[in-house]
Structure 1
């Protein structure tokens, strides 16, 4: 009887061993399908450990110095569709910081960016970066990587404070032909600028903004009808310093809101100026009867 019990015990132990070898999980954690458990992946274990039995792509065992790749805190490198890792991104669409401002100032030095720095990386900045990359033989990604930044630094100089934050943001548009004779306030909706011109020569210029879709600034050829150094709108009850009226209540005037919020707002049809000092000087020069041209 004891001999039979011993034989039965050995048979049971052997059966358990076979079941474990087949991947069954007696503790209940398995799927119950009988499928062998997958072996540990090559990357399992402590990062940086040296593998000893994982073959390389040519079927040879790895060298003793081979290590598992580790992931940096910033995540794995991005890759293009071919699977090749791309260069590290430094600046790109949606970024807003002082390095973007410096990028724009340097691109402006090289005539790739025709606006003053804003510190915001948008489509205009991306387009300027693409032009620079094309000129330098770099991949035209529109984003700034280490190679692009390095070449930009070598091709430009450190921007001055005035270059980083100039008083006038917008580049002047080509003057309308009607602006080329006489004394004219030449106002471009395309470039959002006002140029004070005398006989085709630009005397001074400044940024402007216009009315909204509901209260648009009229376009055409006008003249300065009258001026008021201090004026308050009789309709909207808002201050209109240095007002120069040109079309049925629409005027060129200083706007504190434009100075504070920029192009996030709009006027009720007037031509807003945000540089008070420049407009003050212009106000003293303009006379009733001078032309006003508002054009695209």
Structure 2
């Protein structure tokens, strides 16, 4: 009898060992069901379709300067949407690279500004639709990797072109001295010294009801950080030239482009270029606003 009991005990232990090897143990929930293997929708690194080799047989490589957004700790369960790497309101060099790559693919028709607004979100949505991705308008890791595989690394000129708009023929009053030469026809500002264009950028003007005044002026005073006392909106890098009208950076222009208008000021959408210009311009320098 004792021998029979020992045999039965060995059989039970062997069956238990086989069960452990097969993964049939409780998954920690108390249900006794085996844990499901990670799937592509769970966000497990290496499981997404975008990790597949490209047409040339090479896997897509992440940007050296762009954050990968790789999750830390335990993998996602799929219940939470992928965390966006870039989205509305972001302003940095990664946004500029994003815009330059989208422009290569004809999804973004402006010079990169480095500011993520409605125009950039719209371009991202178009790219996502073309690639069969969820049209979120924000950039998650999957969107970024697909963009990398579809575009090339932007050149310095692509990241910071002289201007989106072609410069107009300078007004004769711009040909001497230090001048902010502003053309309503081409919607550009050219910083000129003795007839030579030092830098240029896109600009936006006032509406019909609040037009930007034309004529010959001079820079009266400057303020690096200024808020409108009338409209209570930020006016960084403001250079005032005509009774409250100024050249200044506009986040709205960066976001919406020519869909909007100023209250009479000359808006600039490239913050970095305007910052450099602000440091060069002095009170007393000429300002010419012309058609």
Question: Taking structure 1 as the reference length, what is the TM-score of the superposition?
Answer: 0.47
How far does residue 225 in structure 1 lie from its aligned partner after superposition? 0.5
How far does residue 171 in structure 1 lie from its aligned partner after superposition? 1.2
How far does residue 157 in structure 1 lie from its aligned partner after superposition? 13
Secondary structure class of the residue paired with 2:108? coil
How far does residue 55 in structure 1 lie from its aligned partner after superposition? 54
Paired residues of 2:115 and 2:255 also in contact (CA < 8 A) = no
225-234 vs 127-136, which deviates more? 127-136
Secondary structure class of the residue paired with 2:42? coil
Secondary structure class of the residue paired with 1:293? strand
Paired residues of 1:24 and 1:32 also in contact (CA < 8 A) = no
Which residue matches 2:262?
267
CA distance in 1, matches of 2:57, 2:200: 72
126-135 vs 53-62, which deviates more? 53-62
Question: Taking structure 2 as the reference length, what is the TM-score of the superposition?
Answer: 0.48
How far does residue 195 in structure 1 lie from its aligned partner after superposition? 0.4
Over 3 Å counting, the alpha-carbon distance change for 1:172 and 1:152 in structure 2 is: farther
Q: Which runs of 5+ in 2 are unaligned?
A: none
How far does residue 169 in structure 1 lie from its aligned partner after superposition? 1.0
Secondary structure class of the residue paired with 1:38? coil
Paired residues of 1:52 and 1:64 also in contact (CA < 8 A) = no
Which residue matches 2:212?
217
CA distance in 2, matches of 1:225, 1:59: 61
How far does residue 69 in structure 1 lie from its aligned partner after superposition? 54
Paired residues of 2:69 and 2:141 also in contact (CA < 8 A) = no
Describe the superposition over 1:27-74 as per-residue Cα deviations: whole angstroms up to 9, x where unpaired: 9xx999999999999999999999999999999999999999999999
Computing the radius of gyration from Cα coordinates, the structure with the larger value is 1
Q: Alignment length, in residue pairs? A: 290
Over 3 Å counting, the alpha-carbon distance change for 1:69 and 1:272 in structure 2 is: closer
Paired residues of 2:254 and 2:269 also in contact (CA < 8 A) = yes
CA distance in 2, matches of 1:181, 1:50: 60
Q: Which runs of 5+ in 1 are unaligned?
A: none
Paired residues of 1:211 and 1:268 also in contact (CA < 8 A) = yes
CA distance in 1, matches of 2:96, 2:253: 21
Over 3 Å counting, the alpha-carbon distance change for 1:39 and 1:274 in structure 2 is: closer
Secondary structure class of the residue paired with 2:50? coil
Over 3 Å counting, the alpha-carbon distance change for 1:98 and 1:223 in structure 2 is: closer
Which residue matches 2:17?
17
CA distance in 1, matches of 2:154, 2:235: 35
CA distance in 1, matches of 2:123, 2:50: 51
Which residue matches 1:69?
67
Over 3 Å counting, the alpha-carbon distance change for 1:226 and 1:43 in structure 2 is: closer
139-148 vs 3-12, which deviates more? 3-12
How far does residue 165 in structure 1 lie from its aligned partner after superposition? 8.4
CA distance in 2, matches of 1:159, 1:87: 26
Paired residues of 1:47 and 1:68 also in contact (CA < 8 A) = no
User: Which protein has greater RCO, CA pairs closer than 8 Å, 6+ apart?
Assistant: 2
Over 3 Å counting, the alpha-carbon distance change for 1:99 and 1:220 in structure 2 is: same
How far does residue 168 in structure 1 lie from its aligned partner after superposition? 2.6
How far does residue 261 in structure 1 lie from its aligned partner after superposition? 0.7
How far does residue 277 in structure 1 lie from its aligned partner after superposition? 0.7
Paired residues of 2:118 and 2:255 also in contact (CA < 8 A) = no
Paired residues of 2:205 and 2:261 also in contact (CA < 8 A) = yes
Over 3 Å counting, the alpha-carbon distance change for 1:226 and 1:153 in structure 2 is: closer
How far does residue 285 in structure 1 lie from its aligned partner after superposition? 0.7
CA distance in 1, matches of 2:277, 2:232: 24
Secondary structure class of the residue paired with 1:89? coil
Paired residues of 2:41 and 2:48 also in contact (CA < 8 A) = no
Residue 277 (structure 2) aligned to one of 276, 282, 289: 282
